[in-house]
Structure 1
Amino acid sequence: MLKYIVGITCVFVAHVTDAHPLEGSWQFVKGEYYSEGQVFYAEAPDVTSVKVLSGGHFNYITQKNGEFHYAAGGRYEITEDAFIEHVDYGNIPSLLGKELVFDYELKEQLWHHTLYQEGELVEYEVWQRVAQ
């Protein structure tokens, strides 16, 4: 019986500690956005955003110059080389129902991600971990 209890406990603990390093809360540091041959830059504190990844769901809320700018959320997947958002809700109609596939890299407590659409660079952002 003791072996059974120890075995079940090990399986449970392994599952709990198996969270992906991206899971947790993140705050926006800076971003570059590319559209029609132009580059737009954003940086905290002018733009503030918090993104939370937990249990296969994500959400974020963004302010620009202290005022609400946008928010969205939905489901996410993480593969070895991609972070994939399935946007289920938000206040930007063009994103609803979209699947956004980001390349990502973790460097210390910073999450760098890049979005390409149809082979073109669309977005590069850096986020800093707030909590895991």
Structure 2
Amino acid sequence: MSNPFIGVWQLVSGECGEPGQAVEAYDMSLLSSRKVIGGRHFMFLTLKDGAFYSSASGAYTFDGLCYTEQPDMASYAPMVGQAYVFEYQIDGDLWHNRRFEDGRQVEYEIWRKIGA
């Protein structure tokens, strides 16, 4: 299977919710995020209102249904060592991913590929 994830991705839109809270849409007027994916590792950087907000890096895996990130470095320490499993769909230059916890969707993001 070829790797459709390799490249540079820009966040287009998204929504997420912490356990026990309602899922809320990202305020894209304040938020910008870029993800760089190589053969085995990913890295993302997110800014909120032009200032640093969050970052993480680590290994990833994928199969025909799921893309999984395992950060080994993160600005939010509890992320380190966790596995974030996303169901994904790639449609042209758009990558849709959804993450579920206990059967409930807790995250949905759309990324646009902006570079190789």
Same fold (TM over 0.5): yes
- Which of 7, 26, 32 is the matching residue for 2:15? 32
Q: Which has the higher contact order (CA 8 A, sep 6+)?
A: 2
Q: State the TM-score, normalizing by the size of structure 2.
A: 0.92
Alpha-carbon distance, 1:45 to partner: 3.9
Alpha-carbon distance, 1:41 to partner: 1.3
Aligned ranges for residues 39-58 of structure 1 at < 5 Å? 39-58=23-42
2:63 is the alignment partner of 1:79: yes
Q: Which has the higher helix share?
A: 1
State how far apart, in whole Å, the 2-side matches of 1:26 and 1:80 are: 20
Q: State the TM-score, normalizing by the size of structure 1.
A: 0.82
Which of structures 1 and 2 has the bigger CA Rg? 1
- Which of 46, 53, 56 is the matching residue for 1:62? 46
Write out per-residue CA displacement over residues 53-82 of structure 1, whole angstroms, 9 at most, x where no aligned residue.
102000000001111000001000010100
2:70 is the alignment partner of 1:117: no
Identity of aligned residues (%): 31
Letter in 1 for 2:14: G
Pairs aligned (count): 115
- Which of 6, 20, 23 is the matching residue for 2:3? 20
Alpha-carbon distance, 1:50 to partner: 0.6
* Structure 2: tracts of 5 or more residues without a match: none
Structure 1 segments of 4 or more deviating over 4 A?
none
